[in-house]
Structure 1
Amino acid sequence: MATIKDISLRCGVSVSTVSKALNGYQDISEATREMIIKTAHEAGYFPDANVRALKMKKTYNIGVLFSTLTKHGLRNEYFAHILASFKEKAAKRGYDITFIEHNIGNRKMTYLDHCRLRNFDGVFIACAEFTEPEVLELVNSDYPVVTIDHAFNEAISVLSDNVEGMRQLTQYIIDQGHRKIAYIHGTKSSVTHNRLVSFHNVLKENGITVPEEYFVEGIYRSAESSEELALRLLNLPDPPTCIIASDDYAALGVMNTARRMGLKIPEDISVAGYDGISVAQALEPKLTTIKQDTDKIGSEAAKQLINLIENPMSTSLDTIYLKVQLVKGASVRNLNKAD
C-alpha cells in the first residue's frame, strides 16, 4: 500500500504538503490539492477514516437533505446534475456524502437527530420545504449549512441570479410583441419572490399591466399542477398570448394542456419555462427558457460548505449569485411579424 511519502515523491512535493491536501487545509492551491488527491487515489492510498476522524476531530462526511413533494425525486434532471456535481467536488476534497433521513432502521428521528447520530461535519440542503420547523431547526443549529433555491441569514446560499434571469426572459417575450403575459409561479420562497418582483418590474418598465387572474400559484417541477392551471388560464374570457411557467417541467405541463385543447405552439399560445433541462430542448418546438448552470451550483455549494467547515471564522455567510443564460428556443411566437 502506498504511503504519504510515496505520494510526495510522485507529486514532487513535501510530505507536509501531501498531508495538508489530504486533510483539507487551505494554505495550498486548489490545483496542487487536486493533483495530490488524484495521485493518492491512483496509487491506492486511503487514510484510515477512524484515525483521521480522531486526529482532525472531523468525520469527513456531509449530510445532504433532499426532500421533495414531487414524485420525480432524484430522477429530476435539475437536482440530479446539482447533486452529481456536489458529490464530485466533495470527493475531490476528501468528503463523503450521506442523505439525511427521518428513519434509521426502525428508529424515527428528526433531521437534526440524524445529523447528530452520524456526526456530520456539515449539511447541504438541496431540496426541502424550507419553512418546515425541522428544516428551520437544522438551519439554526450549530452545523455549517449551505442551501440552494432559498436564502437564509444563518447559512450560505448558492442561487442563480433569478432577478436577472426573469428580467431577460420577460423582456424577450415583450420584445416579441406580447402584452398579455401570464405567470404560473412556484410556491412561496425567496426564489419565487425575486422572480415575481423582477417580472412585475419589467412589465412596469414597459408600461404593461396584466390582470390579477394572470398570476397563479403552482408547484415547482410539477407538470400535473401546471396542466390544471394552464387550463384555467386558457379558458379565461381574455386569455394570455404567452404563459411563463415556474420551470421547464411545469412548462411541459402547459404544453400538454394546450395540445389537448387543439392549440398549436407557438402559433396559438406561446410558452416559456425556467431551468434549461435537456429534455425541453429535445422537443419540437424547443422551449424558450432560462438555463441555470446546475453543475456550477453543485460545485460551488460543495466548495462553500467545505470552506465553512474547515475555516468557519474566515468564511462569510453570504448569498452567492450565479449567472444564467437566456435560451430563445422556438416556443414564443414573434407577434411583431405580419402573418
Structure 2
Amino acid sequence: MVSLKDIASECGVSIATVSKALNDHSDIGAETKTRIRKAAKDMGYVPNAAAKSMKTNRTHNIGVLFMDDANSGLTHDFFAGVLESFKREVEREGYDITFISNDRSRPGRASYLEHARYRRFDGVIIANVHFDDPEVVELVKSNIPVVTIDHIYNETTTILSDNVGGMSDLVDFVVQNGHNRIAYIHGAESATTNLRLVTFNRKLEEYGIEVPEEYIKESPYRDTHGAYERTLELLKLRTRPTCIFYPDDYATYGGMRAIAERGLKIPDDISVIGFDGIKVARHIRPRLTTYRQNTEELGTLAAKSLVALIEKPKTTLIQQITVKGWLLEGDTLKKLN
C-alpha cells in the first residue's frame, strides 16, 4: 500500500508537504499541489479512512433513517427522488451514506441512536418515519447533527415541502373551474396530512363552500386499494362530489379504477386531483392534474444543511426551510364554468 512517505520520496518533499497538498492547505503552492496529487494518483495512493477519521474526528459517513409503512422502500416515488438528490449532494461533499435498520423483529437490535453511535455517523437525515416514536425522539435530542424532511422539531433543521401552498393552489384551481362539491381522501395522521387537511378546509371556507362530513375520507398514502374503497363510498352518496382530491398521485390511480368500474368517465362525469407530481403521471392518459413537489431541491437543501451542521456547528443556525413546488395542469379536471 502506497504511503505518504512513498509519495514524499518520489516528489522530493517532506511528508508534511504531501499531507498539506492532498488536503488542499493554502500554504502550499498550486504547482506543488498539482505535482504531488499527480504522483499520488499515478502511484495508486488511497487515503486511510481510519487514520483520517482519527485526525478529523469524522467518519464522513451519514446515516439515513427512512421508514415506509407501505413497504415500498426506495420505489417510493416522492422520497426516492428526495434521497437520490440528497445522496448525490453529500457524495459531492465527500460523504458516504448508510441506511439505519428499522427492523424491530431482530433479537438484540440496537436503537436508532445506538446504531448511529456504533457506526459513528457524522450526522443523520430522517424522512417518513413515525416522528413521535421514542427512539426517533431520542436520536433527535442527541448530540448527533440531524436534519428532518417534512417534520418540525425544535432541535433540528427541517426541510419542508410547501404543503400549504400546494393545497392552496390546487383548491384555487378547482374552485376557479366551477367546482363546489369537492371531496378529499386524505392520508393517514401525520404533520403533513394535518397541514393539507386544514388548508383544504380553510380555503373552501374562504370561498363559502361547505364540505359535508361524508366528503372527507382517510386512506393510507400510496395505497391504491384504500383509495379504491373510499372512492366507491363517495360514488354511492346521494349527492356525489364533482371532484375528488387524493393523498398522492399513486393512490389516485386506485380511485380512477373505482370510477371506471362504475361506468363513469374522467373528467366528464367526475374530476380527480393528485399530489406529488410523479413522472409517470405525466405519461398515463388522462394526464393527472396534480401538484409537483420539488424533490431535487428538497434533497439538495437537506444535504447542504446537514453538511453545514457537521462541519460548521458553531455558525450554522437551526432553521425551517420551505421548498415550493408547482401546479401541473392535466386532463382530469373538468371545467364546469
Do they superpose with TM above 0.5? yes
Secondary structure class of the residue paired with 1:312: coil
Show the counterpart of 1:24.
Answer: none
Give yes or no for the alignment of 1:247 onto 2:248: yes
Report the residue type matching 1:50 in the other structure.
A
CA–CA separation in structure 2 for the residues paired with 1:41 and 1:258: 65
CA–CA separation in structure 1 for the residues paired with 2:19 and 2:48: 17
Secondary structure class of the residue paired with 1:230: helix
Show the counterpart of 1:99.
Answer: 99
Show the counterpart of 2:311.
Answer: 310
Show the counterpart of 2:142.
Answer: 141
Show the counterpart of 1:109.
Answer: 110
Show the counterpart of 1:26.
Answer: none
Tell me the CA shift for residue 267 of structure 1.
0.8
Tell me the CA shift for residue 106 of structure 1.
6.4
Show the counterpart of 2:206.
Answer: 205
The aligned length equals: 312
Show the counterpart of 1:56.
Answer: 56
Show the counterpart of 2:29.
Answer: none
Report the residue type matching 1:282 in the other structure.
H
Show the counterpart of 1:222.
Answer: 223
Matching of residues 260-271 of structure 1 within 5 Å = 260-271=261-272
CA–CA separation in structure 1 for the residues paired with 2:253 and 2:41: 44
CA–CA separation in structure 1 for the residues paired with 2:58 and 2:19: 21
Tell me the CA shift for residue 2 of structure 1.
11
Show the counterpart of 2:169.
Answer: 168
Deviations 1:203-246 (A, max 9, x none): 12211111111112221122122111111111112111111111
Tell me the CA shift for residue 197 of structure 1.
2.2
Show the counterpart of 1:19.
Answer: 23
Deviations 1:59-84 (A, max 9, x none): 11111011111032211221221111
CA–CA separation in structure 2 for the residues paired with 1:207 and 1:332: 21
Report the residue type matching 1:19 in the other structure.
N
Show the counterpart of 1:47.
Answer: 47
Residues 59 and 333 of structure 1, relative CA distance in 2, 3 Å threshold = same
Report the residue type matching 1:79 in the other structure.
F
Normalised by the length of structure 1, the TM-score is 0.85
Report the residue type matching 2:167 in the other structure.
M
Normalised by the length of structure 2, the TM-score is 0.85
Gaps of 5+ in 2: 11-17, 26-37
CA–CA separation in structure 2 for the residues paired with 1:237 and 1:226: 20
Give yes or no for the alignment of 1:285 onto 2:286: yes
Gaps of 5+ in 1: 7-13, 22-38
CA–CA separation in structure 1 for the residues paired with 2:309 and 2:239: 52
Give yes or no for the alignment of 1:327 onto 2:328: yes
* Alpha carbons 2:276, 2:293 under 8 Å: kept: yes
Show the counterpart of 1:68.
Answer: 68
Tell me the CA shift for residue 299 of structure 1.
1.1
Secondary structure class of the residue paired with 1:330: coil
Report the residue type matching 2:278 in the other structure.
I
CA–CA separation in structure 2 for the residues paired with 1:185 and 1:41: 57
CA–CA separation in structure 2 for the residues paired with 1:65 and 1:149: 13
Bigger Cα Rg: 2
Tell me the CA shift for residue 109 of structure 1.
1.8
CA–CA separation in structure 2 for the residues paired with 1:281 and 1:147: 29
Secondary structure class of the residue paired with 1:54: helix
* Alpha carbons 1:276, 1:290 under 8 Å: kept: yes
* Alpha carbons 1:68, 1:129 under 8 Å: kept: no
Residues 137 and 40 of structure 1, relative CA distance in 2, 3 Å threshold = farther
CA–CA separation in structure 2 for the residues paired with 1:40 and 1:223: 57
CA–CA separation in structure 2 for the residues paired with 1:62 and 1:165: 30
CA–CA separation in structure 1 for the residues paired with 2:88 and 2:266: 39
CA–CA separation in structure 2 for the residues paired with 1:155 and 1:65: 14
**What is the RMSD of the two structures over their aligned residues, measured on CA atoms?**
2.6
Tell me the CA shift for residue 119 of structure 1.
1.1
* Alpha carbons 1:102, 1:108 under 8 Å: kept: no
CA–CA separation in structure 2 for the residues paired with 1:209 and 1:239: 14
Tell me the CA shift for residue 257 of structure 1.
1.2
* Alpha carbons 1:65, 1:124 under 8 Å: kept: yes
Report the residue type matching 2:250 in the other structure.
Y
Secondary structure class of the residue paired with 2:23: helix
Tell me the CA shift for residue 200 of structure 1.
1.8
* Alpha carbons 2:67, 2:102 under 8 Å: kept: no
CA–CA separation in structure 2 for the residues paired with 1:335 and 1:18: 66
